[in-house]
Amino acid sequence: MNTSLITRSIIFAGAFALCATLAPNLASAQTWTAPTLTPPGGNVSEPINASSSSQTKVGGLSLGSLNVTGNASAVGSMSAASFLYSSDRSLKENIQTFANPLATVLGLRGVSFTWKKGGQKDFGVIAQEVEKVIPEAVHINVGTGLKSVEYGNLVGVLIEAIKAQQVEIDALKARVDSLTK
């Protein structure tokens, strides 16, 4: 797997996670609060809700800073300059390197597919298949029973699998070199 594909996968996972975080909150917004401030920088037309009350908005949305606690989801596409995952060592305990990362990755299946709703072609994995190999990367929506994959959680095992492959490659190179002498 090349670096570009890994980077795209991480970006896709981040975008998916942010979409998954936003949608329920946006979908459940049911009240409208009249504008409380003039639109910032005149970059949007009125009305704009600058209060803490919930609202529904159709069209684009740009947020300078967003903190969400809990789960949310979104329908459609999202983009950002970056998506950050909490990863500081001080937040973790019982840290262990994957015991057999190559076998784990070999148990996963990358697929291309078409979404039933909208007909858009895409690529990724199937949650039920990932669940059999890395259950910690799969989440179940208690309301719908649908499963989702936290793609960012696959990065660690992919890194260790590449390192394991490199050890094997280096050993094979050394053996070939010794046989050709």
Q: Is 69 in the same domain as 20?
A: yes
Q: Report the b/e string of 18-49 with b at 16+ CB within 10 A.
A: bbbbbbbebeeeeeeeeeeeeeeeeeeeeebb
- Residue 128 belongs to a domain: yes
The residue among 62 and 170 whose pLDDT is bigger is: 170
pLDDT in tens, 64-113: 666 666 666 666 677 778 878 888 999 999 999 999 999 999 999 999 99
Q: Is 173 in the same domain as 112?
A: yes
| Domain containing residue 68 | 1-80
Q: Is 52 in the same domain as 126?
A: no
Please tell me whether the overall predicted TM-score, pTM, comes out greater than 0.75 for this model: no
- Residue 88 belongs to a domain: no
- Residue 170 belongs to a domain: yes
Residue 123 contacts residue 110 (beta carbons within 8 Å): yes
- Residue 35 belongs to a domain: yes
Q: How many domains does the chain have?
A: 2
Q: Is 63 in the same domain as 109?
A: no
Task: Indicate whether 166 pLDDT > 70.
Answer: yes
